[in-house]
Amino acid sequence: MTAAPASSGGWRRACAVADVPADVPLRVEVAGVPVAIARADGEMYAIYDVCSHENIALSEGEIDGTTIECWLHGSRFDLATGAALNLPATRAVPVYPVMLDGVGPDAGVLVDISAPS
């Protein structure tokens, strides 16, 4: 996670830092794309908010360390890489770069959905 001005490249404001409780994912839409924003281990993450196994919002699941669990069948995904860590999911989900615009709880959480990894 980096800090930079909101006018940089394809970055879009997803929410404010204060909107994202620790270890509880927040569902947002960024330019029409469903994204789960998560604060875990002191970092902010942005991951595509649809399980690769079923059409279920990952933001309805739980955060454990730096993973997010799909509540339906228990598939876990790495928040940093999107890798599927256990069955039944076998495919990764996209993750997006995150940067903060400002400092403190009112800082913007910016996501660049044009640069998934």
Beta strands 62-64 and 67-69 are antiparallel
**Whether the predicted model's global pTM rises above the 0.75 cut:** yes
Give tens-digit pLDDT for 47-78.
Answer: 999 999 999 999 999 999 999 999 999 999 99
> 2-111: what CATH class?
mainly beta
Domain boundaries of the chain, sorted by first residue: 2-111
Q: Write the Ramachandran bin of 23: left for phi over 0, alpha for psi from -120 to 50, otherwise beta.
A: left
Give tens-digit pLDDT for 30-51.
Answer: 999 999 999 999 999 999 999 9
Please state the rounded mean pLDDT for residues 83-96. 98
